[in-house]
C-alpha cells in the first residue's frame, strides 16, 4: 500500500453521458493496482446516499456539490486520491468546490468534453429522451445550461478519443502529479 501524506481531488466535469464515470473507474483501477488508496465519488452514488432528495435547481445543485466537496476534502487530506465524477454544470459551483478543497489539498479540474449532439446520441440512461419529451426539468444541456471550464487542468475529448485513450491520458498526467506528493509508506 502506498500511503500518501495528502491525497488530491480530481474533479471530472462534463455533460451527462460524456464519459466521466467510465474514465474515473478506469483510472481508479490502475491506481489501485499500484497500491494507492482511491475513492470514486459519482453523482448517482451521492444522490442515493449523502444527498438523498437533492433536486436539480441551481441552488439544490450548489448545496449538493458543497456536501461532496467537503467529503472529497476530508478523504484527500487523509491520503486518499479522490476521483469525483459530477456534471457540476455551473462555473460558480466548480469555483466553490475548488475553494473548499484547495484549502488543504490539490484540486485538479478535468473537463470531459463531448458535444450535446453526441451525448444525446449516447443517452446511456435515457435522460435526454425524457428531457426532450418534457418529462424531466432542469436537464443539463437541454433546459439548463452547462458552462464549460475556462481553464481546466486537463481536457479529455470523448468524441475523438476512446475511453481507453482518455483513461491512459488522465492516468499518466496523474502519475506526474503524484511524483510531487510525499509518500509516508510503501509496502
Q: At 16, phi and psi to the nearest 5?
A: -55, 135
Q: Cell numbers at residue 177, please? A: 502529479
Which residues lie closer than 8 Å to 169 by C-beta, 6 or more apart? 154, 156, 161
Residues assigned a catalytic role: 88
Q: Cell numbers at residue 123, please? A: 443517452
Report the alpha-carbon distance of residue 51 to residue 68 in Å, rounded.
9
* Spatial contact of 37 and 77, defined as CB atoms under 8 Å apart: no
Amino acid at each position: 500500500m502506498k500511503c500518501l501524506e495528502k491525497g488530491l481531488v480530481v474533479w471530472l466535469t462534463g455533460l451527462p453521458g460524456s464519459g466521466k464515470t467510465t474514465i474515473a473507474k478506469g483510472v481508479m483501477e490502475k491506481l489501485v493496482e499500484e497500491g494507492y488508496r482511491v475513492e470514486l465519488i459519482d453523482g448517482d452514488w451521492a444522490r442515493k446516499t449523502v444527498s438523498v432528495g437533492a433536486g436539480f435547481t441551481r441552488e439544490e445543485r450548489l448545496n449538493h456539490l458543497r456536501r461532496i466537496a467537503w467529503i472529497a476534502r476530508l478523504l484527500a487530506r487523509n491520503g486518499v486520491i479522490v476521483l469525483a465524477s459530477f456534471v457540476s454544470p455551473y462555473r460558480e459551483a466548480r469555483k466553490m468546490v475548488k475553494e473548499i478543497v484547495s484549502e488543504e489539498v490539490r484540486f485538479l479540474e478535468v473537463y470531459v468534453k463531448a458535444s450535446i449532439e453526441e451525448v444525446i446520441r449516447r443517452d446511456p440512461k435515457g435522460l435526454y429522451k425524457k428531457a426532450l419529451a418534457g418529462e424531466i426539468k432542469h436537464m443539463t444541456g437541454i433546459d439548463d445550461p452547462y458552462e464549460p471550464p475556462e481553464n481546466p487542468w486537463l481536457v479529455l475529448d470523448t468524441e475523438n478519443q476512446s475511453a481507453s485513450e482518455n483513461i491512459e491520458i488522465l492516468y499518466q498526467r496523474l502519475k506526474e502529479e503524484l511524483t510531487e506528493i510525499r509518500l509516508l509508506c510503501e509496502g
